[in-house]
Amino acid sequence: MSHPLLTLTTDFGPDGPYVAALKGIVLGLVPGTQIVDVTHRIAPQNILEGAFVLASIFDAFPPGTVHLGVIDPGVGTDRKLAALRVAGQWVLGPDNGLLGGVVRGRTVEGIWEIANPALRRATVSHTFHGRDILAPAAAHILGGGDPAAFGPPLPKVLCLANFEPRPTHDGYVAEIIFRDAFGNLVTNLHISQVQQIPPDAWSIEIAGHRIAGLVRTYADRPPGQVVALINSMGWIEIAVVNGDAGRQLAAGPGTTVWFHRSRTA
């Protein structure tokens, strides 16, 4: 591959030496790898948020991209590490639910356990497998290596239950899984689950607030109004026009959102 491309999604925080150390290992093994920092501000150990972010960026990247996720509260235990080939791209990380987001609605082409000690750093720490095992594993793929060298194939990756909304008799019980820098509240309900229903037919409840229908874009309503729309990543999002929905509704990740199809629709 002439332009190896790696993305990183972690909860390391932006302040310390961890991210740079991981990058140094990759760049020593595959010089010239281009690295995109997706985020290092996943809330500490929030696997669900990491799975959401990976699923949200996936379609924007070209074939051959390697996505490395490190949100790893089980480091040092017997949780597995895995490499997943999906729709021509790669996702590597602990098999704790983090890899489960990109699987939804996409074609899994292979899953391997990352278990081969020969593809690790010579000395592996007890607390930083991102640098010592996952960075060399990413470099293995970035350098054109065979994934079968990692270890045995795995039948599936772990998917977190609350990554999917729960269907009800007239819609869904969904959940906020991400609050962005503007205060927009992104739910786990996806366009593929609502596109059969007319946008006006939805009635949405969040934090004691009722929203009638989905709008097309923020500018369709006056400033200050609470709206729901299909966002640019394909998720249903609750927003306040020119405002901060998280603050105005006192809501955030974990907040329940009810979607009802109205009787007249």
Q: Which residues bind a second copy (CB under 8 A)?
A: 2-3, 5, 7, 11-25, 27-28, 31-32, 34-41, 44-45, 53, 56-57, 60-62, 65, 73-77, 125-128, 131-132, 178, 180-182, 216-220, 229, 231-233, 242
CB nearer to a second copy: pick between 129 and 261: 129
Neighbouring residues of 150: CB distance < 8 A, sequence distance ≥ 6:
83, 112, 113, 114, 115, 116, 119, 137, 140
CB nearer to a second copy: pick between 23 and 260: 23
Return the closest-CA partner of residue 188 out of 98, 55, 57: 55
Q: How far is the CB of 124 from a second copy (least distance, A)?
A: 9
Q: How far is the CB of 155 from a second copy (least distance, A)?
A: 26
Q: How far is the CB of 53 from a second copy (least distance, A)?
A: 5
Question: In DSSP terms, which residues pair with 83 in a beta bridge?
Answer: 92, 112
214 touches 236 (CB < 8 A): yes
- Centroid of chain to Cα 75: 19
The 8-class DSSP code of residue 216 comes to S
Report which residue type is found at 29. Answer: L
46 touches 179 (CB < 8 A): no
Q: How far is the CB of 23 from a second copy (least distance, A)?
A: 5
225 touches 240 (CB < 8 A): yes
260 touches 205 (CB < 8 A): yes
Q: How far is the CB of 127 from a second copy (least distance, A)?
A: 5
CB nearer to a second copy: pick between 9 and 112: 9
Q: How far is the CB of 103 from a second copy (least distance, A)?
A: 17
Alpha carbon distance 239, 226 (integer Å): 6
CB nearer to a second copy: pick between 43 and 108: 43
- Which burial class, exposed, middle or buried, applies to 61 when counting CB atoms under 10 A from its CB (0-12, 13-18, 19+)? middle
Q: How far is the CB of 7 from a second copy (least distance, A)?
A: 6
Where on the phi/psi map is residue 76: left (φ > 0), alpha (ψ -120 to 50), or beta?
left
CB nearer to a second copy: pick between 36 and 108: 36
CB nearer to a second copy: pick between 83 and 233: 233
CB nearer to a second copy: pick between 2 and 264: 2
